[in-house]
Amino acid sequence: MAGVGEAVESICVDDAKCVAGFPAAQMNLALANAVSMQKAMDQILLSTVAAAAQLTQTIAARCVNEVLSTRMQAAVGDVKAGTGDDIAYRQQAMKGAQTTPPQTA
């Protein structure tokens, strides 16, 4: 009967070790889960930054293309918009709008 007592004691010791090691095992699982989630967040952040950089580069390229494709005459025309000739033309247009309308009936 001594063999049965030793077997029972051995099982009890193993059970005690299992119960004692359970919090550590749970902590390891939680830590592994946290590391996995952090890696996933890092990947999301990396893809977001890459997309923002691509968008910035595209916008800058389009701006440069627009500036370079603007014709010189259009650029000069925009500068002339505030000169005396333009102001005189607008004054003449305003004089025409200020005339007295013809009498009706």
Is 10 inside a domain boundary? yes
The predicted model gives 85-89 an average pLDDT of 69
Structural domain span for residue 60: 2-94
Establish if 32 belongs to a structural domain: yes
pLDDT band at 89 (very low <50, low <70, confident <90, very high): confident
User: Number of folded domains in the chain?
Assistant: 1
**Is 62 contained in some domain?**
yes
Between residues 91 and 57, which one has the greater pLDDT? 57
Query: What was the pLDDT predicted at 76?
Result: 60
pTM: 0.44
> For residue 101, is it within any domain?
no
Closest among 85, 67, 83 to 75, alpha carbons compared: 67
pLDDT band at 19 (very low <50, low <70, confident <90, very high): confident
Per-residue pLDDT tens over the stretch 45-75: 999 999 999 999 999 998 888 877 776 556 6
Domain membership flag for residue 105:
no
